């Protein structure tokens, strides 16, 4: 696949992002201790024991409050200074000093939006949205949650056909998605287009909002037990966000996903088991993306045209497979001055406390005013603690920042029409390039043509993206701006 690399894009970024390397994050992403009741319409909530210890030995403090998990709760670093006394102005959010690993769980939240099967959504910018199917979970129809899906299923065999005729780079999978475990690959990161080791991207990636002081709001890993609490806040503040959802969570909390979608937020693919994609074989990558894509469609009736690789772990092989499956990669902004990662996951892992997290991210935001473009921020909605950090502090600071930030969903900030964010309503023949042979359900029956298909799809046989849409011209301009900045 011909992916044109931008000559100097991120070339000055020498070291790997700690988020991409942190082993603790790899093990804490799966589950929040709090659980919600389930019914036959959704998969049973997964359970997990949690163990964590701090990787920061420069400071020490008293042991965190006992967690509801059955694992060991270790001491979490403490912080002092102006952030130590911050309190949230949002109800049901603890003081910042109390936001630490092992904090007592608050009340569980359930979806507030309930619709019947066949309900026709009324979503701004999406006038012809398909009806909500009315998802009912059936044991045996889905892979095990939070585990790599098998690659020998009939569904995966169908999805692999989408790679036919596409030139997938012959890159050997990494050991575990980290730079330290693959020094040879890390040294060749620029040629591999490996984001984890150096922040390398391609012009098909969405990496920033084009307009200065624009904050692309996103949340990963849900839907979680506290996501409805987040949705209530976003609705009150009139903020739209992009939710990168994990397939295992979609079938577990379908009603929450429906609420996200009907509330006007954007839905995107974030794999089935939240794995490092560069570590997987081609077949495994297809399975991770395919099952999540299928789960979203069965719950919402629409198939996303975007995806985010967990940990930002993507290279040209992963990128080509995602594009072949009609999924455009979206990554949070990364510059020499800092990565726009809230590091909320590090609080959930016990690596830092809430005060340190907010202070670090606020320092990064200080650099945002020096950018010629806007930026995309990474946050998470799977954990209660990350939701509290978002609605009680990070998003509140964003709205009172001087100069002010404009907060919006990523598709909105890069000027992609809402219709083009889903395959069933996509009208753009080049975003993403379409194929009439797509079988999202994996049942052996080709899906109904999209609006874009009726216009005629790209004639390219090597899968290269045609830069015909205004959205993609905009993305190229953003990438060029970043290369000049570096």
Active site residues: 220, 380
Kindly give the residue spans of alpha helices, DSSP state H, lying in 328-383. Answer: 344-349, 354-368
Q: In Å, how far are 62, 137, 283, 326, 441 from 293, measured between CA atoms?
A: 44, 16, 15, 10, 9
Task: Give the pairing type, strands 214-220 and 242-245.
Answer: parallel
CB 353 within 8 A of CB 99: yes
The residues that bridge with 335 in the sheet, in sequence order, are 338
Burial label for 263, CB within 10 Å (0-12, 13-18, 19+), is middle
Selection from 6, 10, 4, 15 nearest residue 486 by Cα: 10
User: For residues 197 and 185, is the Cβ–Cβ distance under 8 A?
Assistant: yes
The total of other beta-carbon atoms located within 10 Å of residue 203's CB is 18
Name the nearest CA neighbour of 475 among 428, 439, 425, 434.
428
Torsion, Cα 232 233 237 243, to 10 degrees, reads -80
Rounded to the nearest 5°, which phi and psi values hold at 172?
Answer: -70, 135
Which residues pair with residue 334 across a beta bridge? 339
**Which residues have C-beta within 8 Å of that of residue 266, sequence separation ≥ 6?**
240, 241, 242, 243, 306, 409, 410, 411, 412, 418, 421
What's the CA gap between 61 and 59, in Å, rounded? 7
CA 90 to chain centre: 25
Q: Report the C-alpha gap between 73 and 53 in whole angstroms.
A: 7
Q: For residue 217, what are the β-bridge partners?
A: 409
Torsion 281-282-283-288 (CA) sign: positive
Reduced to 3 states, what is the DSSP secondary structure of residue 254?
helix
Compute how many other C-beta atoms are within 10 angstroms of the C-beta atom of residue 421: 26
Please tell me whether residue 340 adopts helix, strand or coil conformation. Answer: coil
CA distance 484 to 456: 36
* Beta bridge pairs of residue 433: 430
Q: Which residue has the tokens 């510059």?
A: 335
Q: Do 42 and 254 meet the contact criterion of CB atoms below 8 Å apart?
A: yes
């Amino acid at each position: 696949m011909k992916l044109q690399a931008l000559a100097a894009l991120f070339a000055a970024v020498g070291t790997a992002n700690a988020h991409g390397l942190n082993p603790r994050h790899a093990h804490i992403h799966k589950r929040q201790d709090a659980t919600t009741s389930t019914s036959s319409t959704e998969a049973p909530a997964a359970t997990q024991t949690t163990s964590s210890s701090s990787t920061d030995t420069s400071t020490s403090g008293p042991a965190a409050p006992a967690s509801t998990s059955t694992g060991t709760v270790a001491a979490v670093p403490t912080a002092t200074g102006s952030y130590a006394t911050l309190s949230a102005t949002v109800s049901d959010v603890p003081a910042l000093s109390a936001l630490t690993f092992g904090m007592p769980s608050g009340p569980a939240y359930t979806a507030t939006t309930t619709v019947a099967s066949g309900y026709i959504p009324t979503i701004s910018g999406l006038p012809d949205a398909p009806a909500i199917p009315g998802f009912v979970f059936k044991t045996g129809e889905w892979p095990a949650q939070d585990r790599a899906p098998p690659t020998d299923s009939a569904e995966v065999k169908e999805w692999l056909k989408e790679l036919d005729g596409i030139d997938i780079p012959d890159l050997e999978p990494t050991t575990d998605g980290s730079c330290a475990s693959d020094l040879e690959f890390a040294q060749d990161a620029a040629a591999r287009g490996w984001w984890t080791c150096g922040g390398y991207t391609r012009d098909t990636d969405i990496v920033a909002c084009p307009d200065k002081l624009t904050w692309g709001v996103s949340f990963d890993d849900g839907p979680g037990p506290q996501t409805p609490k987040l949705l209530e806040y976003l609705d009150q503040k009139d903020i739209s966000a992009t939710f990168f959802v994990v397939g295992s969570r979609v079938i577990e909390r379908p009603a929450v996903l429906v609420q996200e979608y009907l509330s006007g937020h954007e839905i995107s693919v974030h794999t089935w088991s939240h794995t490092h994609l560069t570590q997987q074989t081609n077949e495994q990558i297809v399975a991770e993306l395919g099952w999540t894509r299928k789960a979203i469609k069965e719950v919402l009736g629409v198939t996303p045209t975007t995806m985010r690789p967990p940990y930002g772990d993507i290279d040209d092989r992963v990128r080509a497979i995602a594009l072949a499956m009609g999924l455009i990669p979206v990554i949070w902004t990364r510059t020499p001055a800092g990565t726009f990662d809230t590091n909320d996951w590090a609080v959930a892992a016990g690596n830092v406390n809430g005060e340190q997290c907010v202070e670090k991210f606020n320092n990064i935001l200080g650099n945002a005013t020096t950018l010629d473009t806007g930026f995309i921020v990474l946050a998470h909605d799977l954990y209660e603690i990350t939701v509290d950090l978002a609605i009680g502090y990070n998003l509140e600071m964003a709205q009172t920042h001087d100069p002010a930030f404009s907060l919006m969903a990523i598709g909105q900030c890069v000027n992609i029409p809402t219709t083009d964010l889903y395959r069933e309503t996509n009208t753009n023949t080049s975003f993403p390039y379409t194929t009439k042979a797509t079988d999202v359900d994996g049942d052996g029956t080709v899906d109904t043509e999209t609006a874009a298909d009726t216009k005629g799809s790209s004639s390219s046989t090597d899968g290269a993206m045609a830069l015909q849409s205004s959205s993609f011209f905009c993305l190229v301009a953003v990438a060029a701006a970043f290369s000049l900045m570096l």
